[in-house]
């Protein structure tokens, strides 16, 4: 059962999230694109359930965000989660088309940008994802830059990820984030991670070593009246990583395949991830799941620290 929030915006909290808000409990937002576009059923459902379980174990409440038949859901009960995991043809929603999906009563999964908008609308301060979008390679020719970066500069949500996806131009992505005034903090490492790899070869702009320190940083930003989000880069566990030098070989091949097949726009990232899955014999997906679970754990710890 879900509960309506507003007669103006068709938005519903799950019972679990509604109860958490009522008692002031820490909540962690989760995106839904990884469920509909990241991996096939039933692996996607198992992953989503695992991530939600980890957040609960750490003392917070998970809130998977998605648009279903024109309703913005903040938290999904298990039946809705399973139905979404089996949905075919769901839209991939960002800032530009989130309102469109709601207005046209469509079903869509939220990317980083759209999840941040939904989380902020619901008063949720922390969001766990795999990796953010950013500046694509050859962006000087294609102008392909993810809306995630602008969203981070304007929407006040802490985003916990494993860095920018390694298929991107990470140096340019960091430059754009710096220009937009987005704090980039790597957790417990001086080096900025590269999604599947713990080290991108770039130094992190900032480093903090505890969830409490991250929460305190955000509290001071609030006191100063600083708008916008914060990016927390959480390196994948060492046992699960694919080292950068090896991964770059696979990425180069996948990018060549995408250029050959004339893949563009929103289709690029799913295409590349699928190519990498095949090129790595499934290792990239295993690492992806491990880093999402790792990010969920840290996000829950930050949410608990903020609530304290």
Residue 148 annotated as part of some ligand binding site: yes
User: Which DSSP symbol is given to 155?
Assistant: S
Residue 6 has pLDDT above 60, yes or no: no
Catalytic entry in 16, 52, 151, 165: 165
Higher pLDDT, 3 or 95: 95
Which alpha helices (DSSP H) does the chain contain, by range?
15-23, 33-36, 43-57, 78-85, 98-103, 112-121, 139-142, 147-154, 170-179, 211-224, 244-260, 268-279, 283-307
Residue 248 has pLDDT above 90, yes or no: yes
Plot region of 159 (φ>0 → left; ψ -120 to 50 → alpha; else → beta)? beta
What does the buried/exposed string (b/e) look like for 39-56 if buried means 16 or more CB atoms within 10 Å of the residue's CB? beeeebbebbbebbebbe
Which residues, including other chains, have CB under 8 Å from residue 93's CB and lie 6 or more apart? 33, 67, 101, 108, 109, 110, 111, 114
pTM for the structure as a whole: 0.94
Residue 172 has pLDDT above 70, yes or no: yes
Residue 33 has pLDDT above 60, yes or no: yes
Residue 301 has pLDDT above 60, yes or no: yes
What pLDDT was estimated at residue 268?
A: 84
Residue 226 annotated as part of some ligand binding site: no
Phi, psi of 149 (to 5 degrees): -70, -45
Catalytic entry in 31, 151, 241, 301: 31
Mean pLDDT in the chain? 95
Q: What is the pLDDT of residues 205-216, one digit of tens each?
A: 999 999 999 999
Our answer to whether residue 31 is catalytic in this structure is yes
Of the pLDDT bands very low, low, confident and very high (cuts 50, 70, 90), residue 308 is: confident
Neighbours of 252 (CB within 10 A): 12
What pLDDT was estimated at residue 110?
A: 98
CATH top-level class of 11-307: alpha beta
Q: Kindly list the domain boundaries of the chain, sorted by start residue.
A: 11-307
Neighbours of 109 (CB within 10 A): 26
Q: What is the pLDDT of residues 115-149, one digit of tens each?
A: 999 999 999 999 999 999 999 888 888 788 999 99
Of the pLDDT bands very low, low, confident and very high (cuts 50, 70, 90), residue 40 is: confident
Measured between alpha carbons, how far is 133 from 113 in angstroms, rounded to an integer? 9
Residue 92 annotated as part of some ligand binding site: yes
Q: What is the pLDDT of residues 82-126, one digit of tens each?
A: 999 999 999 999 999 999 999 999 999 999 999 999 999 999 999
Our answer to whether residue 21 is catalytic in this structure is no
User: Among 24-38, 75-89, 129-143, 272-286, which is the least confidently predicted range?
Assistant: 129-143
Residue 212 annotated as part of some ligand binding site: no
Residue 67 annotated as part of some ligand binding site: no
What pLDDT was estimated at residue 38?
A: 84
Residue 144 annotated as part of some ligand binding site: yes
């Amino acid at each position: 059962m879900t509960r309506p929030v507003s007669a103006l915006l068709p938005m519903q909290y799950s019972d679990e999230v509604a109860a958490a808000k009522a008692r002031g409990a820490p909540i962690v937002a989760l995106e839904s694109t990884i469920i509909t576009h990241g991996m096939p059923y039933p692996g996607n459902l198992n992953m989503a359930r695992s991530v939600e379980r980890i957040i609960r174990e750490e003392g917070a409440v998970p809130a998977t965000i998605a648009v279903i038949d024109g309703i913005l859901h903040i938290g999904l009960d298990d039946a809705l989660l399973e139905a979404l995991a089996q949905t075919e043809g769901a839209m991939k929603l960002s800032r530009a088309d989130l309102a469109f999906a709601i207005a046209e009563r469509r079903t869509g999964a939220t990317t980083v940008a759209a999840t941040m908008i939904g989380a902020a609308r619901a008063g949720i301060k922390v969001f766990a994802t795999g990796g953010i979008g950013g500046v694509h390679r050859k962006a000087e020719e294609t102008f392909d830059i993810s809306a995630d970066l602008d969203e981070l500069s304007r929407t006040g949500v802490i985003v916990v990820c494993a860095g920018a996806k390694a298929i991107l131009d990470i140096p340019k992505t960091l430059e754009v984030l710096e220009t937009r005034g987005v704090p980039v903090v790597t957790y417990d490492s001086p080096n900025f991670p590269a999604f599947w790899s713990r080290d991108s070869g770039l130094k992190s702009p900032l480093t903090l070593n505890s969830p409490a320190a991250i929460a305190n940083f955000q509290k001071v930003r609030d006191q100063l009246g600083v708008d916008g989000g914060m990016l927390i880069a959480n390196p994948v566990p060492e046992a699960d990583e694919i080292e950068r030098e090896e991964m770059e070989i696979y990425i180069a091949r996948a990018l060549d395949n995408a250029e050959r097949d004339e893949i563009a726009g929103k289709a690029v990232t799913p295409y590349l991830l699928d190519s990498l899955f095949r090129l790595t014999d499934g290792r990239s997906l295993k690492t992806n799941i491990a880093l999402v679970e790792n990010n969920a754990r840290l996000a829950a710890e930050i949410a608990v620290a903020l609530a304290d």
